[in-house]
């Protein structure tokens, strides 16, 4: 033929890949039509070629499948080529017609023509179903030991498909697979390495140990490739067979991660150091080898010096002009930053420079890496870079960037004034991308720093005035913070104040008349929202109610507030009407207390209360978005990610969340204890989610009377004029978990089987409420293997309500301190019925999943 079969197959496959591009398809079809016309192929071959064209163009071609089957039964090699090509392109493993092909494949596998055998092996490797793989397994195995490198390579690639469909036969092929790696032919070696990598990927823990013995052979192979001089048959850009080197490094990484011994790791360290230090980086082939070498160093237990060398290679990648290389370097550095923070920090300048790259994907990866690098020592410098990037960031990326800056400032800021100035700067840059949580946290920080409040209120007033005069749209988050500070610290605004910024010597006094006019302009601004107007109404009421305004300004403020008494916005209307009444003479006795300054919020009390609230609703882990997180002792991003990984195992099902206190003001000022979290719905099910309200286990016990209604909770008085969680505190009863248990609580063995022992310790946390019992379940492991993914769940009858707290750990280690989990049970039929409980325990030990269920009815009397 004038055009070789390989060119024909390549043209057809390229045509199939680019089927969406009709111009490419037309060019390839013209080439193939010319080939068929020149060779005067038989009529049947032409029909198959037409079917291929129709298939590539998206037309149905199932009616031509039998033509392909007829061609593969032909004794002519040219017919078989077209037939097998048609089978691989037109059929999938789900086609029933494949059952007719098995016998033809078996016949061709026993052919004397090695090229016919190669066609059959290629087809089996692409289309084999589990049944075909099982029937032809021994025929393929025979060619794994063939002396013909061509057939041996084809057989190795075909074996990948066979073992993927029948993984139970991996051990039967193990010796032949290891034997493939002893071949001298590079094509056979490449296929053998890919075969072993694919098998280990099926079950790394099981098969990595099976092939760990080949590590020395792989090390020798890699050493020969690195030390071999110029070889014209395998040279690519001055590198000897980079494809084989990359595949070998990948296999070493897989074996080192899951089944490598100390000797093997030491042998790997030597060759990895040699590859990393001698590979040429001028061409892309060398960079590919270095990248895979870095991944292998990171994956195996390499020595510290070698890991630093790998990170330095990634640092050099960041200086490359190819964006692809820089992208993978940033991605890889993001994976290793937690392992060796100091080594990555050395390349901080180069990483920061990536924020100026024109490619947005490079900028985003650099941003994520910079966020991981933030600590107490560099928070000021890196936050400045993040603020600079916020100016040019895409609008869809600004919200996430603001959250990262807020998190970094909360976690690592050591200077309180710097923290407030940074947040104000971010609010001025971010526009409407900053969330309400950022504005609220900024207000909290300002309230905690009375020594900086004068400086802050002047700075915010100037920023708000400049924003309204120069911007078409006001900065909503900045405006809310500024209005709140004007309403709270108006007397400081009316006085001159020493400026803390280097560019300004002194903050001049601002008349409150100008502040009132500024608030009036903001209320009538076209971009002002209902929430911002409500802030302005409250600020005007506070300035007027505390007697800070002149009679003319107070009258002006009263008119502004009263103008919203007929607003279509219900919140604005209600707020305006209430403040109008409050500023009148009838309420003068309570006006001062109602419009007084909001006390500074106690961060520790707020975090503790919200943590108890989330734990009471069954949350397994408390996210930073759910808690106000501040202070220098808070964990950083790396510690938080580690904590999330530890809590990623299944956690016990918890009760539905209690009724939420909408004001959310209890115990955040340190003036009283938090409101007790409500009890869960009765009869918590065995599911892992705590949000369900359906009692799936209500009928697991005998028929029981319905529970008595709970005593009504007294309503909390409103305490926040902003509606944003800034009001005064309200004392309430302490939660059950906070009360001190009895000195010697009774305990008994609730469950014991195998190595697991469960002991219940009982206590009455509230002496005034004997119906409530706190059960501390202690889990101990007397065996030799740890109990992984440990989950304890419980269900109670309808006359009981239960609240299940998260466990102290997700695994029960052998010989370690007991794992504890608290269960709070309220007995509505206390005195007439005792506690009953059904428990379910699930865990994994030595790779085996275990589930145990038991009913506990021998609780002591009185509980």
CA distance 373 to 392: 21
What is the Cα–Cα distance from 32 to 49, expressed in whole angstroms?
9
Using alpha carbons, select from 833, 526, 546, 838 the residue that is nearest to residue 705: 833
Mean pLDDT of 351-376: 89
Q: pLDDT at position 735, please?
A: 34
For residues 299, 304, 310, 315, the Cα torsion angle rounded to the nearest 10 degrees is 130
Nearest to 73 by CA among 116, 40, 12, 113: 116
User: Rounded distance, CA 776 to CA 760, Å?
Assistant: 6
**589 confidence band (pLDDT: 50, 70, 90):** confident
What pLDDT was estimated at residue 261?
58
Closest by alpha carbon to 679, among 555, 528, 780, 800?
800
The alpha carbon torsion through 660, 665, 670, 673 (nearest 10 deg) reads -40
Closest among 402, 396, 400, 348 to 372, alpha carbons compared: 348
Residue with tokens 């002006």: 556
Angstrom CA distances, 228 to 231, 272, 354, stand at 8, 16, 37
- Rounded to 10°, the helix 242-258/262-278 angle is 150
702 pLDDT above the threshold of 70 = no
What pLDDT is attached to residue 714? 39
CB atoms within 10 A of CB 220: 12
* Size of the chain, expressed as the number of residues it contains: 863
Query: What confidence tier does 664 reach under pLDDT thresholds 50, 70, 90?
Result: very low
Q: Which two tokens stand for residue 275?
A: 């590859």
Contact 540, 580 (CB under 8 A): no
Per-residue pLDDT at 739: 38
Structure tokens given for 687: 């599911």
Look at residues 381, 392, 384, 382 and name the one whose alpha carbon lies nearest to residue 357: 392
Tokens (6 digits) for 352: 């920061």
Rounded Cα distance between 590 and 328, Å, is: 64
Q: How many CA atoms lie within 13 A of 555 on its CB side?
A: 2
Residue 220 φ/ψ, nearest 5 degrees: -65, -40
Q: In 3-state terms, what secondary structure has residue 175?
A: helix
Higher pLDDT: 529 or 210? It is 529
Taking residues 645-662, report their average pLDDT: 40
Work out the pLDDT band at 608, boundaries 50, 70, 90.
confident
Taking alpha carbons only, the member of 638, 630, 633 closest to residue 342 is: 638
Residue 484's pLDDT is 92
| H or E element in which residue 136 lies | helix 130-144
In angstroms, rounded to a whole number, what is the distance separating the alpha carbons of residues 837 and 751?
A: 12
What's the whole-number average pLDDT of the chain?
75
DSSP structural state of residue 534: H
Lowest mean pLDDT among 325-329, 403-407, 666-670, 817-821: 666-670
Q: Could you count the other beta carbons within 10 Å of the beta carbon of residue 461?
A: 22
pLDDT bin (cut points 50, 70, 90) of residue 237 is confident
Pairwise pLDDT comparison (743 vs 434), residue with the higher score: 434
pLDDT at 485: 92
Instruction: Tell whether the model's pLDDT for residue 820 goes beyond 50.
Output: yes
Nearest to 162 by CA among 127, 119, 133: 133
Residue with tokens 């290629």: 122
Rounded to whole angstroms, the Cα distance separating 544 from 557 reads 7
Distance CA 657, CA 655 (A): 6
Residue 776: the pLDDT is 92
**Can you list the pairs that 325-329 forms with residues at least 24 positions away whose Cβ atoms lie under 8 Å?**
325/287, 325/291, 326/354, 326/357, 326/362, 327/359, 327/361, 327/362, 327/365, 328/291
Q: pLDDT, tens digit, for every residue of 90-119?
A: 777 777 777 778 888 888 888 888 899 988
Question: What is the pTM (predicted TM-score) of this model?
Answer: 0.60
Q: Poorest-confidence range of 135-149, 152-166, 171-185, 262-276?
A: 262-276
Tokens 């469960």 sit on residue: 758
Of 428, 419, 427, 334, nearest to 380 by C-alpha is: 419
For residue range 151-177, list pLDDT tens digits in order. 999 999 999 998 888 888 888 888 888
pLDDT at 676 over 60: no
What is the pLDDT, as a whole number, of residue 536? 92
Of 557-561, 611-615, 740-744, the one with minimum mean pLDDT is: 740-744
In which band, very low, low, confident or very high, does the pLDDT at 483 lie, cut at 50, 70 and 90? very high
pLDDT at 341: 85
Instruction: State how far the Cα of 381 lies from the Cα of 40, in Å rounded to an integer.
Output: 74
Q: Lowest-confidence range among 1-15, 51-65, 490-504?
A: 1-15
Q: Which one of 23-27, 99-103, 325-329 scores highest in mean pLDDT?
A: 325-329
Average pLDDT over every residue of 765-779 = 87
Hey, which residues does 821 pair with through a beta bridge? 777
Q: Determine the straight-line distance between the first and last CA of the chain, rounded to whole angstroms.
A: 93
pLDDT value for 569: 87
Per DSSP, the residues of 23-64 read HHHHHHHHHHHHHHHHHT--HHHHHHHHHHHHHHTT---GGG
pLDDT at residue 477, as a whole number = 87
User: Does 700 have pLDDT greater than 80?
Assistant: no
Q: Is the pLDDT of residue 147 over 70?
A: yes
CA distance 780 to 759: 8
Structure token digits, residue 147? 């002396």
Tell me which of 203-212, 359-368, 405-414, 712-721 is least confident: 712-721
The model's pLDDT over 419-433, given as tens digits with 9 standing for 90+, comes to: 998 998 898 888 788
Contacts from 390-399 at CB under 8 Å and sequence distance 24+? 390/426, 390/429, 390/430, 391/429, 393/363, 394/360, 395/433, 397/364, 398/430, 398/431, 398/433, 399/433, 399/434, 399/435
Alpha carbon distance 4, 618 (integer Å) = 68
């Amino acid at each position: 033929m004038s055009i070789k079969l390989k060119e024909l197959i390549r043209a057809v496959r390229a045509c199939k890949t680019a089927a969406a591009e009709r111009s490419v398809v037309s060019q390839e079809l013209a080439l193939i039509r010319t080939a068929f016309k020149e060779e005067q192929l038989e009529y049947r071959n032409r029909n198959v070629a037409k079917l291929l064209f129709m298939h590539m163009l998206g037309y149905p071609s199932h009616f031509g499948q039998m033509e392909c089957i007829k061609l593969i039964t032909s004794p002519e090699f040219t017919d078989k080529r077209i037939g097998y090509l048609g089978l691989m392109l037109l059929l999938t493993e789900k086609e029933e017609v494949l059952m007719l092909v098995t016998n033809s494949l078996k016949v061709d596998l026993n052919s004397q023509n090695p090229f016919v055998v190669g066609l059959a092996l290629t087809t089996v490797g692409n289309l084999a179903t589990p049944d075909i793989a099982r029937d032809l397994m021994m025929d393929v195995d025979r060619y794994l030991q063939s002396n013909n490198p061509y057939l041996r390579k084809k057989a190795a690639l075909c074996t990948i498909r066979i073992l993927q469909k029948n993984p139970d036969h991996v051990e039967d092929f193990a010796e032949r697979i290891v034997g493939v790696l002893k071949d001298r032919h590079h094509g056979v070696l490449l296929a053998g390495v890919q075969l072993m990598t694919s098998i280990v990927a099926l079950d790394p823990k099981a098969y990595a140990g099976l092939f760990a013995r080949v590590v020395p052979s792989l090390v020798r192979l890699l050493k020969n490739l690195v030390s071999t001089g110029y070889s014209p048959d395998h040279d690519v850009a001055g590198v000897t067979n980079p494809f084989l080197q990359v595949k070998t490094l990948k296999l070493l990484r897989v074996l080192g991660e899951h089944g490598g011994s100390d000797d093997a790791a030491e042998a790997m360290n030597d060759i990895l150091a040699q590859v990393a230090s001698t590979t040429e980086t001028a061409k892309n082939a060398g960079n590919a080898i270095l990248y895979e070498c870095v991944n292998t160093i990171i994956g195996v237990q390499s020595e510290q010096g070698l890991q630093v060398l790998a990170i330095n290679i990634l640092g050099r990648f960041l200086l490359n002009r190819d964006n692809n290389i820089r992208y993978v370097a940033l991605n890889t550095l993001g994976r290793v930053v937690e392992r060796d923070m100091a080594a990555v920090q050395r390349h901080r300048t180069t990483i920061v420079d990536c924020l100026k790259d024109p490619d947005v994907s490079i900028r985003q990866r650099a941003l994520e890496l910079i966020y991981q690098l933030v600590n107490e020592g560099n928070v000021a410098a890196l936050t400045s870079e993040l603020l600079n990037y916020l100016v040019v960031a895409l609008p869809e990326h600004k919200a996430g960037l603001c959250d990262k800056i807020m998190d970094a400032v909360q976690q690592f800021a050591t200077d309180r004034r710097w923290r407030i100035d940074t947040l104000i700067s971010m609010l001025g840059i971010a526009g409407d991308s900053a969330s309400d949580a950022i504005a609220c946290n900024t207000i909290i920080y300002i309230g905690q720093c009375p020594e900086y409040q004068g400086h802050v209120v002047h700075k915010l007033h100037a920023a708000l005035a400049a924003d309204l005069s120069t911007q078409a749209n006001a900065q909503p988050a900045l405006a809310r913070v500024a209005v709140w500070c004007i309403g709270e610290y108006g007397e400081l605004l009316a006085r001159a104040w020493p400026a803390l910024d280097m560019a300004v010597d002194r903050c001049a006094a601002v008349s409150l008349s100008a502040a009132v006019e500024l608030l009036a302009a903001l209320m009538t601004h076209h971009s002002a929202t209902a929430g911002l107007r409500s802030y302005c109404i409250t600020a005007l009421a506070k300035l007027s109610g505390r007697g800070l305004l002149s009679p003319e300004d107070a009258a002006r403020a009263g008119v502004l507030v009263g103008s919203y008494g007929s607003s279509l916005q219900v919140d604005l209307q209600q707020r305006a009407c209430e403040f109008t009444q409050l500023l009148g003479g009838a309420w003068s006795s309570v006006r001062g207390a109602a419009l007084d300054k909001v006390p500074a919020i106690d961060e520790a009390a707020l975090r503790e209360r919200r943590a108890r609230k989330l734990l009471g609703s069954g949350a397994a882990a408390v996210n930073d978005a759910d808690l106000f997180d501040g202070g220098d002792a808070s964990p950083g991003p790396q510690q938080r990610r580690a904590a999330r990984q530890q809590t990623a195992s299944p956690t016990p099902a918890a009760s539905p969340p209690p009724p939420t206190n909408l004001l959310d003001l209890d115990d955040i000022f340190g003036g009283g204890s938090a409101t007790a979290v409500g009890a869960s719905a009765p009869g918590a099910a065995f599911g892992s989610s705590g949000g369900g309200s359906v009692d799936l286990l209500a009928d697991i016990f005998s028929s029981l009377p319905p529970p008595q209604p709970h005593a009504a909770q007294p309503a909390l008085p409103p305490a926040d004029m902003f509606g944003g969680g800034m009001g005064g505190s309200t004392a309430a009863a302490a939660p059950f978990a906070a009360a001190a248990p009895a000195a010697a609580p009774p305990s008994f063995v609730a469950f014991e089987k195998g190595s697991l022992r469960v002991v219940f310790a009982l206590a009455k946390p509230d002496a005034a409420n004997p119906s409530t019992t706190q059960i501390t379940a202690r889990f101990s492991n007397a065996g030799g293997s740890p109990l992984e993914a440990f989950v304890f769940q419980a269900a109670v009858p309808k006359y009981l309500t239960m609240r299940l707290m998260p466990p102290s750990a997700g695994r029960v280690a052998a010989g370690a301190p007991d794992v504890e989990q608290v269960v709070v049970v309220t007995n509505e039929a206390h005195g007439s019925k005792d506690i009953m409980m059904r428990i379910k325990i699930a865990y994994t030990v030595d790779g085996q999943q275990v589930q145990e269920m038991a009913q506990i009815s021998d609780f002591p009397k009185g509980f």
